[in-house]
Structures are given as C-alpha cells and as structure tokens.
Amino acid sequence: MNAPDFDRATFLAMAPGSIKDPCRLARLAAAYEKSTRNSLVNLASAIEQNNLAKTREIGHKLKSGSTWFGALALGLIGEKLENLPNDVEMNTLRPLWEIADASFTKVLGEIATTLAQLRKPEGHCYVIE
C-alpha cells in the first residue's frame, strides 16, 4: 500500500470546529471504530465463506468510510476488495485482511493520540454507544 495508515489533517477536517469541540470528533471516532470493527469481522467471515459479493460490499464500505476518516491505507485496501476480479482465489485474501486489521489497529492508536492532544484538561467527552 502506498498510503499512510492515518492522515491527521483529513481526520481533523472531517469535523469543522473540532479543535474547539474535540468531543464531537471523539463521537465521530467512536462511530467509525464500531463500524469498521464490525466490517473487519464480517470481512473475515465473507472470505472464510468464499463470498465474493459480500467481500466486495464490505470493501466498498471500508473504502468510503476510511478514506473520509483519514485511514488512507485501509481505504485503499477497501478499494482493492471492492474491485476484485470474478476469478479471484478467495483463499488468497486472508493476508490482505491481516494487513487491514493491522492498519486499523494503528489508526486507533493515532486517533487516541490525536484526541488526547485536543482534549481540554478540564473537559471530558462522553461517547454514546
């Protein structure tokens, strides 16, 4: 992959005013984390079940959400999954899932660091699940 795992500028730009309202950005980050975690679990299952259509669908979701969020490498992986050829050997996709999972872990760390830097010392963010 030729993209960074995380682009902080893209992340910050998705929530105008996030410097003044880090809690809003934290809520968006929590929603992204939950959605992407579910997508990666479902992707592993789709690969295991040799379900190309589901793999492509999840790829599209990863591409759009991750690119918008600043998880650029994960967005590229999603694009690759979305555009898989009809004759792909599904058993060859497990390493790509592992790369996606590792990238997601890095993104979560970068998000946590960024949010910690933005949070006001007296402020607390409450994330509703």
| Residue 1 included in any domain | no
| Residue 129 included in any domain | no
Q: Which domain holds residue 70?
A: 8-12+22-118
- pLDDT by residue (tens digit) across 43-89? 999 999 999 999 999 999 999 999 999 999 999 999 999 999 999 99
- pLDDT by residue (tens digit) across 1-43? 589 999 999 988 877 655 556 778 888 899 999 999 999 999 9
| Residue 127 included in any domain | no
| Residue 82 included in any domain | yes
Looking at every residue in the chain, the average pLDDT score rounds to 89
Percent of the chain with pLDDT over 70: 85
| Residue 99 included in any domain | yes
| Residue 76 included in any domain | yes
Number of domains, the chain: 1
DSSP per-residue string spanning the chain: --S-S--HHHHHHTSTTTTT-HHHHHHHHHHHHHHHHHHHHHHHHHHHTT-HHHHHHHHHHHHHHHHHHT-HHHHHHHHHHHT--TT--GGG-HHHHHHHHHHHHHHHHHHHHHHHHHS-TT-------
| Residue 74 included in any domain | yes
Extract the tokens encoding 107. Answer: 């993104």
CATH code of the domain in which 30 resides: 1.20.120
Read off the pLDDT band of 96 (50, 70, 90).
Answer: very high
- 74 Cβ contact list (under 8 Å, min separation 6): 5, 36, 62, 66, 100, 103, 104, 107
Closest CA to 105 of 59, 13, 14, 36: 36
| Residue 124 included in any domain | no
- The average pLDDT across 98-103 equals 97
What is the predicted pLDDT for the residue at 40?
Answer: 98
Measured over the CA atoms of residue 107, residue 109, residue 112 and residue 115, the dihedral's sign is negative
